[in-house]
Structure 1
Amino acid sequence: MASLQMSTVLNSLTPTRPLPPNSPDSTRLHSLPLRNLSTKAFAVPRRKAMALFLSTYILSPVALHETAFAEPSVGLREYIDSFDGYSFKYPQNWIQVKGAGADIFFRDPYVLDENISVEISSPSSSKYKSVEDLGPPEEAGKKVLKQYLTEFMSTRLGVKRESSVLSTSSRVADDGRMYYQVEVNIKSFANNNELAVMPQDRVARLEWNRRYLSVLGVENNQLYELRLQTPENVFVEEEYDLRQVMDSFRVSKVLV
Protein backbone atom coordinates (compact mmCIF):
# COMPACT_ATOMS: atom_id res chain seq x y z
CA MET A 1 0.00 0.00 0.00
CA ALA A 2 2.82 2.43 0.89
CA SER A 3 4.57 1.72 -2.40
CA LEU A 4 1.32 2.40 -4.28
CA GLN A 5 0.89 5.73 -2.46
CA MET A 6 4.49 6.72 -3.15
CA SER A 7 4.07 5.91 -6.88
CA THR A 8 0.91 8.00 -7.04
CA VAL A 9 2.60 10.94 -5.34
CA LEU A 10 5.69 10.77 -7.53
CA ASN A 11 3.51 10.80 -10.63
CA SER A 12 1.68 13.85 -9.33
CA LEU A 13 4.99 15.64 -8.85
CA THR A 14 5.97 15.33 -12.50
CA PRO A 15 5.88 18.90 -13.83
CA THR A 16 3.74 19.69 -16.83
CA ARG A 17 4.71 22.40 -19.21
CA PRO A 18 3.64 23.74 -22.59
CA LEU A 19 5.42 22.56 -25.71
CA PRO A 20 8.74 24.42 -26.19
CA PRO A 21 8.77 27.33 -28.62
CA ASN A 22 10.43 27.27 -32.03
CA SER A 23 13.94 25.88 -32.25
CA PRO A 24 16.88 28.18 -31.44
CA ASP A 25 17.74 28.22 -35.17
CA SER A 26 14.69 30.36 -35.83
CA THR A 27 15.33 34.06 -36.23
CA ARG A 28 12.11 34.87 -34.46
CA LEU A 29 12.24 34.36 -30.71
CA HIS A 30 9.29 34.95 -28.43
CA SER A 31 9.67 37.81 -25.96
CA LEU A 32 8.01 38.61 -22.67
CA PRO A 33 6.44 41.90 -21.61
CA LEU A 34 9.05 43.94 -19.76
CA ARG A 35 7.19 45.35 -16.81
CA ASN A 36 4.74 42.58 -15.95
CA LEU A 37 5.98 39.80 -13.76
CA SER A 38 5.49 36.39 -15.29
CA THR A 39 2.58 34.45 -13.88
CA LYS A 40 3.87 31.14 -15.14
CA ALA A 41 5.62 29.01 -12.53
CA PHE A 42 9.24 28.14 -13.13
CA ALA A 43 8.96 24.39 -13.66
CA VAL A 44 10.55 22.19 -11.02
CA PRO A 45 12.50 19.24 -12.49
CA ARG A 46 11.31 15.80 -11.46
CA ARG A 47 14.56 15.01 -9.65
CA LYS A 48 14.19 18.05 -7.38
CA ALA A 49 10.54 17.28 -6.72
CA MET A 50 11.40 13.69 -5.82
CA ALA A 51 14.07 14.86 -3.39
CA LEU A 52 11.63 17.21 -1.68
CA PHE A 53 9.01 14.47 -1.43
CA LEU A 54 11.37 11.87 -0.02
CA SER A 55 12.68 14.21 2.67
CA THR A 56 9.12 15.01 3.73
CA TYR A 57 8.13 11.35 3.72
CA ILE A 58 11.06 10.37 5.93
CA LEU A 59 10.56 13.19 8.42
CA SER A 60 6.78 13.08 8.55
CA PRO A 61 4.95 10.03 7.15
CA VAL A 62 1.65 11.61 8.21
CA ALA A 63 2.18 14.35 5.63
CA LEU A 64 2.34 11.85 2.76
CA HIS A 65 -1.08 12.69 1.37
CA GLU A 66 -0.58 16.46 1.80
CA THR A 67 2.73 16.38 -0.06
CA ALA A 68 1.02 15.14 -3.20
CA PHE A 69 -0.86 18.44 -3.39
CA ALA A 70 2.07 20.67 -2.42
CA GLU A 71 4.26 20.72 -5.54
CA PRO A 72 6.84 23.51 -5.13
CA SER A 73 6.64 26.27 -7.71
CA VAL A 74 9.00 29.13 -8.40
CA GLY A 75 7.93 32.23 -10.32
CA LEU A 76 10.01 34.78 -12.15
CA ARG A 77 11.19 37.98 -10.53
CA GLU A 78 12.25 41.03 -12.50
CA TYR A 79 15.61 42.65 -11.91
CA ILE A 80 15.85 46.27 -13.08
CA ASP A 81 19.09 48.25 -13.12
CA SER A 82 18.06 51.76 -14.13
CA PHE A 83 21.54 53.10 -13.35
CA ASP A 84 23.29 50.88 -15.92
CA GLY A 85 20.29 50.50 -18.23
CA TYR A 86 19.09 46.90 -18.40
CA SER A 87 16.52 44.49 -16.99
CA PHE A 88 15.67 40.80 -17.11
CA LYS A 89 13.66 38.16 -15.28
CA TYR A 90 15.14 35.29 -13.30
CA PRO A 91 13.83 32.45 -11.08
CA GLN A 92 12.90 34.08 -7.79
CA ASN A 93 14.55 31.39 -5.68
CA TRP A 94 17.95 32.02 -7.26
CA ILE A 95 20.38 33.84 -5.01
CA GLN A 96 22.59 36.82 -5.78
CA VAL A 97 26.35 36.32 -5.51
CA LYS A 98 28.42 39.37 -4.66
CA GLY A 99 31.92 39.88 -5.98
CA ALA A 100 31.52 37.45 -8.88
CA GLY A 101 33.12 39.87 -11.34
CA ALA A 102 30.00 40.51 -13.41
CA ASP A 103 27.74 43.54 -13.12
CA ILE A 104 25.11 41.26 -11.56
CA PHE A 105 25.20 37.52 -10.85
CA PHE A 106 22.52 35.05 -9.70
CA ARG A 107 22.78 31.28 -9.33
CA ASP A 108 20.53 28.32 -8.67
CA PRO A 109 20.77 27.29 -4.98
CA TYR A 110 20.52 23.59 -5.92
CA VAL A 111 22.39 23.31 -9.23
CA LEU A 112 25.57 25.26 -8.52
CA ASP A 113 26.69 25.13 -12.17
CA GLU A 114 23.55 27.01 -13.23
CA ASN A 115 23.79 30.79 -13.13
CA ILE A 116 22.96 34.01 -14.93
CA SER A 117 24.94 37.23 -15.18
CA VAL A 118 25.25 40.48 -17.11
CA GLU A 119 28.43 41.86 -18.65
CA ILE A 120 28.72 45.45 -19.94
CA SER A 121 31.48 46.86 -22.13
CA SER A 122 33.44 49.81 -20.82
CA PRO A 123 31.83 53.13 -21.79
CA SER A 124 35.23 54.68 -22.39
CA SER A 125 36.42 52.02 -24.82
CA SER A 126 33.25 51.18 -26.76
CA LYS A 127 31.12 53.22 -29.14
CA TYR A 128 28.49 50.74 -30.23
CA LYS A 129 25.47 52.09 -32.12
CA SER A 130 23.73 48.79 -32.77
CA VAL A 131 24.25 45.11 -32.08
CA GLU A 132 24.77 44.83 -35.83
CA ASP A 133 28.17 46.45 -35.26
CA LEU A 134 29.26 42.93 -34.28
CA GLY A 135 28.47 41.74 -37.81
CA PRO A 136 25.77 39.15 -38.60
CA PRO A 137 24.67 36.77 -35.82
CA GLU A 138 27.01 34.07 -37.14
CA GLU A 139 30.04 36.31 -36.70
CA ALA A 140 28.85 37.36 -33.25
CA GLY A 141 28.55 33.68 -32.35
CA LYS A 142 32.20 33.06 -33.19
CA LYS A 143 33.26 35.99 -31.02
CA VAL A 144 31.12 34.81 -28.10
CA LEU A 145 32.55 31.28 -28.29
CA LYS A 146 36.11 32.62 -28.46
CA GLN A 147 35.47 34.73 -25.36
CA TYR A 148 34.08 31.75 -23.42
CA LEU A 149 37.06 29.58 -24.37
CA THR A 150 39.46 32.31 -23.27
CA GLU A 151 37.73 32.62 -19.90
CA PHE A 152 37.72 28.85 -19.31
CA MET A 153 41.27 28.25 -20.47
CA SER A 154 42.98 25.74 -18.19
CA THR A 155 46.68 25.36 -17.42
CA ARG A 156 46.24 21.86 -16.02
CA LEU A 157 47.97 19.01 -17.82
CA GLY A 158 45.74 16.66 -19.75
CA VAL A 159 42.74 19.00 -19.99
CA LYS A 160 40.97 19.24 -23.33
CA ARG A 161 37.97 21.33 -24.31
CA GLU A 162 35.52 20.58 -27.11
CA SER A 163 33.24 23.39 -28.22
CA SER A 164 30.74 24.32 -30.92
CA VAL A 165 28.30 27.07 -31.77
CA LEU A 166 24.87 25.44 -31.63
CA SER A 167 22.78 28.33 -32.96
CA THR A 168 22.74 32.05 -33.64
CA SER A 169 19.70 34.24 -34.24
CA SER A 170 18.41 37.79 -34.14
CA ARG A 171 15.11 39.29 -33.05
CA VAL A 172 13.47 42.66 -32.67
CA ALA A 173 11.88 42.85 -29.21
CA ASP A 174 8.85 44.84 -28.11
CA ASP A 175 11.12 47.78 -27.30
CA GLY A 176 12.03 48.10 -30.98
CA ARG A 177 15.66 47.10 -30.43
CA MET A 178 17.46 44.27 -32.14
CA TYR A 179 19.03 41.54 -30.02
CA TYR A 180 21.31 38.66 -30.95
CA GLN A 181 21.09 35.29 -29.24
CA VAL A 182 23.98 32.81 -29.30
CA GLU A 183 24.05 29.27 -27.92
CA VAL A 184 27.25 27.28 -27.54
CA ASN A 185 28.21 23.97 -26.00
CA ILE A 186 31.51 23.37 -24.23
CA LYS A 187 32.72 20.03 -22.88
CA SER A 188 35.74 19.64 -20.62
CA PHE A 189 37.77 16.43 -20.54
CA ALA A 190 40.66 15.55 -18.22
CA ASN A 191 43.03 12.59 -18.17
CA ASN A 192 42.76 10.31 -15.17
CA ASN A 193 46.57 9.99 -15.12
CA GLU A 194 48.00 13.03 -16.88
CA LEU A 195 51.60 12.15 -15.93
CA ALA A 196 51.51 8.67 -17.43
CA VAL A 197 54.17 7.98 -20.06
CA MET A 198 52.14 5.63 -22.24
CA PRO A 199 49.17 7.15 -24.10
CA GLN A 200 46.95 4.16 -23.26
CA ASP A 201 47.41 4.97 -19.58
CA ARG A 202 46.00 8.47 -20.04
CA VAL A 203 42.25 7.97 -20.26
CA ALA A 204 40.20 11.12 -20.78
CA ARG A 205 37.04 11.48 -18.72
CA LEU A 206 34.26 14.02 -19.05
CA GLU A 207 34.47 16.68 -16.33
CA TRP A 208 31.49 18.78 -17.36
CA ASN A 209 29.16 19.39 -20.29
CA ARG A 210 27.50 22.82 -20.35
CA ARG A 211 25.23 24.98 -22.46
CA TYR A 212 26.01 28.69 -22.62
CA LEU A 213 23.34 31.09 -23.84
CA SER A 214 24.09 34.74 -24.53
CA VAL A 215 21.77 37.59 -25.45
CA LEU A 216 23.49 40.67 -26.87
CA GLY A 217 22.04 44.17 -27.02
CA VAL A 218 23.36 47.70 -27.51
CA GLU A 219 22.37 50.96 -25.83
CA ASN A 220 24.19 53.96 -24.34
CA ASN A 221 27.06 53.22 -26.78
CA GLN A 222 27.73 50.02 -24.82
CA LEU A 223 27.43 46.33 -25.53
CA TYR A 224 25.32 44.41 -22.99
CA GLU A 225 25.48 40.63 -22.68
CA LEU A 226 23.13 38.48 -20.63
CA ARG A 227 24.82 35.12 -20.03
CA LEU A 228 23.22 31.95 -18.80
CA GLN A 229 25.23 28.86 -17.93
CA THR A 230 23.57 25.51 -17.31
CA PRO A 231 24.57 21.83 -17.45
CA GLU A 232 23.26 20.19 -20.63
CA ASN A 233 21.16 17.65 -18.73
CA VAL A 234 19.50 20.45 -16.75
CA PHE A 235 18.91 22.48 -19.91
CA VAL A 236 16.94 19.58 -21.37
CA GLU A 237 14.60 19.66 -18.36
CA GLU A 238 14.25 23.44 -18.08
CA GLU A 239 14.62 24.63 -21.68
CA TYR A 240 11.22 26.30 -21.98
CA ASP A 241 11.63 28.27 -18.76
CA LEU A 242 15.24 29.24 -19.43
CA ARG A 243 14.25 30.61 -22.82
CA GLN A 244 11.64 32.76 -21.12
CA VAL A 245 14.40 34.18 -18.95
CA MET A 246 16.60 34.91 -21.96
CA ASP A 247 13.76 36.49 -23.95
CA SER A 248 13.06 38.90 -21.09
CA PHE A 249 16.39 40.73 -21.42
CA ARG A 250 16.06 44.42 -22.32
CA VAL A 251 18.48 47.33 -22.50
CA SER A 252 17.34 50.90 -21.89
CA LYS A 253 18.49 54.48 -22.20
CA VAL A 254 20.30 55.83 -19.17
CA LEU A 255 19.25 59.34 -18.21
CA VAL A 256 22.32 61.42 -17.41
Structure 2
Amino acid sequence: MLTHTGGGLQGSQAKAIVTPPPGFNLHQDKLDGYLFFVPDSWLPVTTSGNDIFYRNPRNVNENLFVDVSSPSSSNYSTVEDLGPPEQAAKRTLEQYLEELMSTRIGVRRTGEILSADKRVGPDGKEYYDIQMRVRSYASRNQLAAYPGDRQASQELEWERRYLTVLGAANKRLYQFRLQTADNTFENAADKLLSIAQSFRCKEVVT
Protein backbone atom coordinates (compact mmCIF):
# COMPACT_ATOMS: atom_id res chain seq x y z
CA MET A 1 0.00 0.00 0.00
CA LEU A 2 1.42 3.40 -0.97
CA THR A 3 1.15 6.06 1.71
CA HIS A 4 2.75 9.46 2.15
CA THR A 5 3.32 10.55 5.73
CA GLY A 6 3.59 13.86 7.51
CA GLY A 7 1.06 16.00 9.32
CA GLY A 8 -2.16 14.50 10.61
CA LEU A 9 -5.86 14.35 9.86
CA GLN A 10 -8.27 16.03 12.21
CA GLY A 11 -10.70 14.35 14.58
CA SER A 12 -12.57 11.29 13.35
CA GLN A 13 -10.94 11.59 9.92
CA ALA A 14 -7.68 10.42 11.45
CA LYS A 15 -9.37 7.24 12.65
CA ALA A 16 -11.23 6.49 9.43
CA ILE A 17 -9.87 3.51 7.56
CA VAL A 18 -10.14 3.67 3.79
CA THR A 19 -9.75 0.26 2.17
CA PRO A 20 -9.10 0.09 -1.58
CA PRO A 21 -10.92 -2.56 -3.63
CA PRO A 22 -9.02 -5.58 -4.99
CA GLY A 23 -6.47 -4.61 -7.61
CA PHE A 24 -5.96 -1.11 -6.20
CA ASN A 25 -3.61 0.59 -3.76
CA LEU A 26 -4.40 3.54 -1.55
CA HIS A 27 -2.28 6.62 -2.15
CA GLN A 28 -2.57 8.92 0.84
CA ASP A 29 -0.71 12.18 1.32
CA LYS A 30 -1.18 13.16 4.96
CA LEU A 31 0.96 16.28 4.61
CA ASP A 32 -1.20 17.92 1.93
CA GLY A 33 -4.39 16.13 2.93
CA TYR A 34 -5.68 13.96 0.09
CA LEU A 35 -6.09 10.35 -0.95
CA PHE A 36 -7.24 8.25 -3.90
CA PHE A 37 -7.19 4.70 -5.21
CA VAL A 38 -4.70 3.79 -7.93
CA PRO A 39 -4.43 0.48 -9.85
CA ASP A 40 -1.67 -1.60 -8.27
CA SER A 41 -0.01 -2.01 -11.69
CA TRP A 42 0.41 1.76 -12.21
CA LEU A 43 3.83 3.23 -11.45
CA PRO A 44 4.72 6.48 -9.67
CA VAL A 45 6.86 8.95 -11.61
CA THR A 46 9.00 11.02 -9.27
CA THR A 47 10.44 13.43 -11.83
CA SER A 48 7.17 14.81 -13.23
CA GLY A 49 7.25 18.08 -11.29
CA ASN A 50 3.72 17.46 -9.96
CA ASP A 51 2.70 16.74 -6.38
CA ILE A 52 2.23 13.09 -7.37
CA PHE A 53 2.11 11.43 -10.78
CA TYR A 54 1.20 7.85 -11.79
CA ARG A 55 1.25 6.24 -15.21
CA ASN A 56 -0.10 3.00 -16.62
CA PRO A 57 2.93 1.06 -17.92
CA ARG A 58 0.65 -0.92 -20.26
CA ASN A 59 -0.89 2.18 -21.83
CA VAL A 60 1.29 5.23 -22.39
CA ASN A 61 -1.79 7.43 -22.81
CA GLU A 62 -3.11 6.76 -19.28
CA ASN A 63 -1.80 8.73 -16.34
CA LEU A 64 -2.96 10.79 -13.39
CA PHE A 65 -1.67 13.49 -11.12
CA VAL A 66 -2.76 15.81 -8.33
CA ASP A 67 -2.18 19.55 -8.20
CA VAL A 68 -2.70 21.55 -5.01
CA SER A 69 -2.80 25.33 -4.96
CA SER A 70 -0.27 27.25 -2.91
CA PRO A 71 -1.44 27.94 0.66
CA SER A 72 -0.08 31.47 0.42
CA SER A 73 -2.09 32.41 -2.67
CA SER A 74 -5.47 30.71 -2.20
CA ASN A 75 -8.39 30.95 0.19
CA TYR A 76 -11.03 28.38 -0.74
CA SER A 77 -13.75 27.46 1.75
CA THR A 78 -15.55 25.04 -0.59
CA VAL A 79 -15.30 24.08 -4.24
CA GLU A 80 -18.34 26.28 -4.84
CA ASP A 81 -16.02 29.28 -4.50
CA LEU A 82 -15.18 28.51 -8.15
CA GLY A 83 -18.78 29.17 -9.15
CA PRO A 84 -21.18 26.52 -10.50
CA PRO A 85 -19.72 23.34 -12.07
CA GLU A 86 -20.18 24.61 -15.62
CA GLN A 87 -18.20 27.77 -14.89
CA ALA A 88 -15.43 25.81 -13.17
CA ALA A 89 -15.32 23.40 -16.12
CA LYS A 90 -14.93 26.24 -18.61
CA ARG A 91 -12.07 27.71 -16.60
CA THR A 92 -10.43 24.28 -16.27
CA LEU A 93 -10.66 23.65 -20.01
CA GLU A 94 -9.06 27.02 -20.70
CA GLN A 95 -6.26 26.10 -18.30
CA TYR A 96 -5.65 22.77 -20.05
CA LEU A 97 -5.60 24.33 -23.51
CA GLU A 98 -3.11 26.92 -22.31
CA GLU A 99 -0.90 24.21 -20.82
CA LEU A 100 -1.09 22.18 -24.04
CA MET A 101 -0.35 25.12 -26.30
CA SER A 102 2.33 24.11 -28.80
CA THR A 103 5.09 26.21 -30.35
CA ARG A 104 5.15 23.91 -33.36
CA ILE A 105 4.04 25.54 -36.58
CA GLY A 106 0.70 24.30 -37.88
CA VAL A 107 -0.53 22.76 -34.60
CA ARG A 108 -4.00 23.54 -33.26
CA ARG A 109 -5.63 22.32 -30.03
CA THR A 110 -9.38 22.30 -29.40
CA GLY A 111 -11.46 21.15 -26.45
CA GLU A 112 -15.03 20.51 -25.38
CA ILE A 113 -16.72 19.97 -22.04
CA LEU A 114 -18.62 16.68 -21.98
CA SER A 115 -20.04 16.94 -18.47
CA ALA A 116 -19.73 19.02 -15.31
CA ASP A 117 -21.47 17.81 -12.16
CA LYS A 118 -21.47 18.41 -8.42
CA ARG A 119 -21.58 15.54 -5.93
CA VAL A 120 -21.12 14.97 -2.23
CA GLY A 121 -18.36 12.46 -1.49
CA PRO A 122 -18.39 9.81 1.25
CA ASP A 123 -16.50 12.32 3.41
CA GLY A 124 -19.38 14.82 3.22
CA LYS A 125 -17.40 17.28 1.07
CA GLU A 126 -18.64 18.67 -2.22
CA TYR A 127 -16.68 17.87 -5.37
CA TYR A 128 -16.95 18.85 -9.02
CA ASP A 129 -16.59 16.03 -11.55
CA ILE A 130 -15.62 17.27 -15.02
CA GLN A 131 -15.15 15.33 -18.24
CA MET A 132 -13.48 16.96 -21.22
CA ARG A 133 -12.21 15.95 -24.64
CA VAL A 134 -9.15 17.65 -26.14
CA ARG A 135 -7.99 17.20 -29.74
CA SER A 136 -4.69 18.10 -31.36
CA TYR A 137 -4.44 18.80 -35.08
CA ALA A 138 -1.12 19.04 -36.91
CA SER A 139 -0.39 20.22 -40.43
CA ARG A 140 1.11 17.84 -42.97
CA ASN A 141 2.78 20.86 -44.54
CA GLN A 142 4.38 22.82 -41.68
CA LEU A 143 6.64 24.67 -44.11
CA ALA A 144 3.78 26.16 -46.11
CA ALA A 145 4.23 29.88 -46.68
CA TYR A 146 0.69 30.84 -45.67
CA PRO A 147 -1.16 29.91 -42.44
CA GLY A 148 -4.26 29.09 -44.48
CA ASP A 149 -2.36 26.45 -46.43
CA ARG A 150 -1.09 24.87 -43.20
CA GLN A 151 -4.56 24.85 -41.67
CA ALA A 152 -6.07 23.27 -44.79
CA SER A 153 -3.68 20.33 -44.48
CA GLN A 154 -4.26 19.70 -40.75
CA GLU A 155 -5.02 16.16 -39.57
CA LEU A 156 -6.04 14.78 -36.19
CA GLU A 157 -2.86 14.05 -34.24
CA TRP A 158 -4.35 12.79 -30.97
CA GLU A 159 -7.61 12.87 -29.03
CA ARG A 160 -7.66 12.60 -25.23
CA ARG A 161 -10.28 12.27 -22.52
CA TYR A 162 -9.70 14.09 -19.23
CA LEU A 163 -11.44 13.22 -15.96
CA THR A 164 -10.98 16.02 -13.45
CA VAL A 165 -12.12 16.23 -9.84
CA LEU A 166 -12.01 19.57 -8.03
CA GLY A 167 -12.24 19.88 -4.26
CA ALA A 168 -11.32 22.31 -1.50
CA ALA A 169 -9.75 21.82 1.93
CA ASN A 170 -7.22 23.68 4.09
CA LYS A 171 -8.16 26.86 2.18
CA ARG A 172 -6.55 25.26 -0.91
CA LEU A 173 -7.91 24.05 -4.24
CA TYR A 174 -7.25 20.41 -5.11
CA GLN A 175 -7.27 19.22 -8.71
CA PHE A 176 -7.16 15.51 -9.55
CA ARG A 177 -6.56 14.91 -13.25
CA LEU A 178 -6.75 11.58 -15.07
CA GLN A 179 -5.91 11.34 -18.78
CA THR A 180 -6.53 8.58 -21.31
CA ALA A 181 -6.90 8.22 -25.06
CA ASP A 182 -10.48 9.01 -26.07
CA ASN A 183 -10.84 5.96 -28.34
CA THR A 184 -10.08 3.56 -25.48
CA PHE A 185 -12.03 5.35 -22.76
CA GLU A 186 -15.29 3.43 -23.12
CA ASN A 187 -13.56 0.07 -22.65
CA ALA A 188 -12.17 1.19 -19.29
CA ALA A 189 -14.75 3.81 -18.31
CA ASP A 190 -15.99 2.12 -15.13
CA LYS A 191 -12.47 1.65 -13.77
CA LEU A 192 -11.29 5.13 -14.68
CA LEU A 193 -14.39 6.82 -13.28
CA SER A 194 -14.05 4.88 -10.03
CA ILE A 195 -10.41 6.01 -9.73
CA ALA A 196 -11.40 9.64 -10.22
CA GLN A 197 -14.31 9.50 -7.80
CA SER A 198 -12.18 7.86 -5.12
CA PHE A 199 -10.31 11.16 -4.73
CA ARG A 200 -10.85 12.95 -1.42
CA CYS A 201 -9.22 16.00 0.13
CA LYS A 202 -9.10 16.41 3.91
CA GLU A 203 -8.32 18.98 6.53
CA VAL A 204 -4.90 18.58 8.14
CA VAL A 205 -3.36 19.73 11.39
CA THR A 206 -0.25 21.86 10.85
Asked if these proteins are the same fold (TM beyond 0.5), I'd say: yes
User: Is 1:86 equivalent to 2:34 in the alignment?
Assistant: yes
Higher share of residues assigned strand: 2
- The question of whether the paired residues in 2 share the 8 Å contact of 1:77 and 1:92 is answered with yes
- The question of whether the paired residues in 1 share the 8 Å contact of 2:140 and 2:150 is answered with no
> In structure 2, the residue corresponding to 1:156 is in which secondary structure?
coil
Partners of 1:200 and 1:255 in 2: CA distance = 55
Alignment of 1:223-242 (within 5 A): 223-242=173-192
Cα RMSD between the aligned structures? 1.6
Alignment of 1:1-256 (within 5 A): 35-39=18-22, 75-197=23-145, 199=149, 203-256=153-206
Partners of 1:159 and 1:173 in 2: CA distance = 39
Unpaired stretches in structure 1, ≥5 consecutive residues? 1-32, 40-74
Which aligned segments of 4 or more residues in structure 1 are displaced greater than 3 angstroms?
none
Partners of 2:110 and 2:94 in 1: CA distance = 12
Partners of 1:208 and 1:106 in 2: CA distance = 21
Partners of 2:187 and 2:135 in 1: CA distance = 19
Partners of 2:62 and 2:75 in 1: CA distance = 32
Unpaired stretches in structure 2, ≥5 consecutive residues? 1-15
Partners of 2:54 and 2:63 in 1: CA distance = 6
> In structure 2, the residue corresponding to 1:119 is in which secondary structure?
strand
Partners of 1:241 and 1:250 in 2: CA distance = 17
Amino acid at match of 1:95: L
Q: State the Cα deviation string for residues 159-215 of structure 1 (Å, max 9, x = none).
A: 111211111000001111000011111100001112124728952121110001110
Partners of 1:96 and 1:180 in 2: CA distance = 25
TM-score calculated relative to the size of structure 1: 0.71
Structure 1 residues 158 and 86, CA gap change in structure 2 (3 angstroms): same
Partners of 2:156 and 2:17 in 1: CA distance = 39
Name 1:14's counterpart in structure 2: none
> In structure 1, the residue corresponding to 2:204 is in which secondary structure?
coil
Structure 1 residues 201 and 116, CA gap change in structure 2 (3 angstroms): closer
Higher share of residues assigned helix: 1
Q: Percent identity?
A: 44
Amino acid at match of 1:137: P
